Amino acid sequence: MVYGGLRLALEALASGSPIMLYDDDNREGEVDLVYPAWVADAEVIYDLRVSAGGLICYATDRRIVEFLGLPWGDELLAGYGKLGLLASKRLKYGDKPAFTIWINHVNVKTGISDEDRSLTVKSLDDVVRLYYDGRHAEALEKFYSEFQAPGHVPILAARSLRERRGHTELTIALLKAAGLRPSAVFAEVLSKGRSATLEEARSLAARRKMPLVVGRDILEWCSKVEVCWDS
């Protein structure tokens, strides 16, 4: 059985439409606006920037970043003297961060405009597409020839849902379950001075006729769908 909200979310993602995703009351308690990365033109980046307002992040599966040789951000900093003290700390919900590195496409102007971030995100999605098409050498060549770091787009890597149950993991689990490549762009939905509440996000989702799914429903459904649990 696929829950009604989940079914609508899977259909939306498959059609290239956005969804909203709430993690859990006992975790961050936040809602993200999520798009498949392959539709992330400048209008999508603008929507994430204006309608959501949080940090615009690119997310993919851990196996992709391991294939590309990217380090976890906290592990990278851990080897740099006193910076290791910063990297050893955790926020209140306790998880290790999903951040790896921050990049730009080499053809951007400054990297921060809607058009620039669109180019970076869609080009990252092209790397993931090449990987899942079995064109591994081309994926590596594209990544290391077309990107520059540090940049304005953080790459997040999804751990297994057995290890971490954040927006990154929940989003990638949904994409996999829909039979789509694990490649997304999202931003947290903010209100003035704080994160938006679930009720505020429900109101926005209703106005835009957009599916809103919650983490507990994804996890309950994934308990029956093994692909969700892959790292």
* Active site (catalytic) residues: 32, 57, 93, 104, 152, 188
**CA gap 176, 15 in Å, rounded:** 14
- Stated length of the chain: 231
Beta pairing, strands 194-195 & 190-191: antiparallel
**Which one, of 61, 50, 127, 129, lies nearest residue 100 by Cα?**
61
Peptide bond into 36 cis (omega under 30): no
Alpha helices in the chain (DSSP H): 4-14, 42-47, 62-68, 73-78, 83-87, 114-132, 136-146, 167-177, 198-207, 215-222
**Which one, of 189, 175, 120, lies nearest residue 153 by Cα?**
120
